[in-house]
Amino acid sequence: TPPSFVPALVVGSGYGAAVSALRLGSAGVSTLVLETGQLWNEAGSDGSVFCSMVDPDRRSTWLHTRTQAPLGTFLWLDVVNRDVPRYTGVLDRMDHPNMSVYQGRGVGGGSLVNGGMAVVPEREHLERVLPAVSSDPMYERYFPRARRMLGVNRVSEDWFEGAECYRYARVARRHAANAGLGSTLVPNVYDFDYMRREAAGEVPASALAAEVLYGNNHGKRSLDQTYLADAVGTGNVRIESLHRAHSIRRESDGTFVVGVQRLDEFGNVREVHEIGCRYLFLGAGSQGTTELLLRARETGGLPELSELVGQGWGTNGNVMLGRACNLWDPTGALQSSIPALAVDDPHNEHGPVFAESVPIPAGVETFVSLYLAITRNPERGRFVFDEDTDSVRLRWSSDQGQPSVRAARATFDGINRANGTVYRHDLFGDTRAFEDRFTYHPLGGCVLGSATDDHGRVRGYRNLYVVDGSLIPGSTGVNPFLTITALAERNVERILSVDVEHG
């Protein structure tokens, strides 16, 4: 049967994809969005859509039989993770030699699982990593637009200072101050007014019920409630969940034909079909988009793609660590799962460190101060396509994490010295204090200005666009989704005004 046809096809439904879908739909372009993961809108037998971190079930995990929380152990005991039935749950971890890449799966992509921290990057750093992007319009127009659209808000300082659920963040701030370091309250897309009412017992708890990582049942403005709801509201956008784009080829008339696999909720391929489109927007995330392009380049579907596809990948310098606080310095049994504070070390000898204070919402006092440090690690990896497994492999060596560890160590050695505290060595499966073998912030693989032009148009093919975190070469210096969103707003605005025929 000949492929069905849509004018515009968007692959994935994370930040870049959601921006593309809304702007295409608003311009009157009939658009189909394909998302591998589920549409998370139906409650399970427990009355909730998502499960919590303390009692995870099959909804937590994408096609694995054990949950994959990064904080693997406590006192070296494997108490954190649980066996679960294989299911198309919401959090995926893609394991490569020396590096595990986390990604949200479902309509909304990473917005379903992430901590919601919405941070504008430092201007000089953005200019350094994306020299082709002029920063005035970014800071005057696209960052404010992205913040407004995503529903970014701030915690009230008065409430933060007295809230039991942010004791852990205030401890982190005081310990940093004792070492001469500043901290900042970090804006978020979680509704802090809702959280205040959770704390007062007026509404069902979510951030205060250990929900994050496997989804939030309340309070979080994930993309399905913002960009994607507006996109569907234009009447021009349709979203198909449990649909995975697999192959891409181009016909001689310029039509792209995408091979699609329809999955059941256990991840089995139930049907394959093809969809033709005039405009193809790839928003499948750093690994997903790069894999689609590399497969198409290596297996002949899009042979003209640049050799630069696959390159420029980085971890955003992610490294996690825990400090043992003194017994007179509790971090609190009730911890908001939504981070609200970051320690700032701009003058670190190994480059600036921005370390968010991360909760351990275990429901008991742990005396642990946990951090996800974002460092300026200059190391870059690359993806290669492996025909045997029909998937990409990441080339990243274990020593490439060392710049992240060095920078974090310089910051936190100082904090430990000033407070008479030590690192925890029991949290990451062995005795290491610094966990640099995973990233929440995969960036790069199809870098703007190298594998694409200055607006994400993929080199070698007209009407083929990359719109997600693959465009950013490995670092934003802060949490990345606001940058991904603002960059997509910028690029799609240009693409719509220059390339796309409007309906």
The residues in 287-346 that bind ligand FDA, with binding defined as CB under 6 A, are 288, 292
150 is an interface residue for ligand FDA by CB under 6 A: no
The span from the first CA to the last CA of the chain, in angstroms, equals 27
Residue 77: strand pairing partners: 74
- Binding flag, residue 244, ligand FDA (CB under 6 A): yes
Q: Are 407 and 375 in contact (CB under 8 A)?
A: yes
Instruction: Tell whether residue 10 is a contact of ligand FDA (CB under 6 A).
Output: no
The stretch among 51-59, 108-116, 164-172, 417-425 that binds ligand FDA (CB under 6 A) is 108-116
Minimum gap (Å) between residue 401 Cβ and ligand FDA: 18
- Least Å distance, CB 459 to ligand FDA, is 20
SS3 letters across 254-305? CCEEEEEEEECCCCCEEEEEEEEEEEEEECCHHHHHHHHHHHHHHCCCCCCC
Q: Determine if 35 is a binding residue for ligand FDA (CB under 6 A).
A: yes
Residue 8 near residue 237 (C-beta atoms within 8 A): no
For ligand FDA, the binding residue among 215, 285, 332, 473 (CB under 6 A) is 285
Among the listed residues 356, 379, 435, 489, the single catalytic one is 356
Q: Identify whether 441 is a catalytic site residue.
A: yes
Report whether 325 contacts 171 (CB < 8 A): yes
Place of tokens 């979680």: 190
Name the one range near ligand FDA by CB under 6 A: 79-87, 111-119, 225-233, 363-371.
Answer: 111-119
Among 466, 480, 487, 495, binds ligand FDA (CB under 6 A): 480
- State which residue, 290 or 419, has the beta carbon closest to ligand FDA: 290
Q: Rounded CA gap, 126 and 376, in Å?
A: 12
Nearer to ligand FDA, 89 or 104 (CB): 104
- Asked if 473 interacts with ligand FDA (CB under 6 A), we say no
Pick 35 or 379: Cβ nearer ligand FDA: 35
Taking contact as CB under 6 A, which single stretch among the options 12-20, 128-136, 296-304, 397-405 is the one that binds ligand FDA?
12-20
**Applying CB under 6 A, what is the total number of residues that bind ligand FDA?**
41
Q: 44 CB contacts (<8 Å, ≥6 apart)? A: 51, 57, 59
Query: Catalytic annotation on 198?
Result: no
Q: Does 12 help bind ligand FDA (rule: CB under 6 A)? A: yes
Question: In sequence order, what DSSP letters do the residues of 211-268 get, joined into one string?
Answer: -SSS--SSSB--GGGTHHHHHHHTTSEEEESSEEEEEEEE-TTS-EEEEEEEE-TTS-
Which of residues 367 and 469 has its CB atom nearest to ligand FDA in the complex?
A: 469
Which tokens in the block code for residue 445? 């693989």
Q: How far is CA 15 from CA 78, 206, 314, in A?
A: 34, 22, 18
* Residues near ligand FDA (CB under 6 A): 11-17, 34-37, 102-106, 109-110, 113-117, 213, 244-245, 283-286, 288, 292, 440-441, 468-469, 479-482, 484
Residues tagged active-site: 356, 441
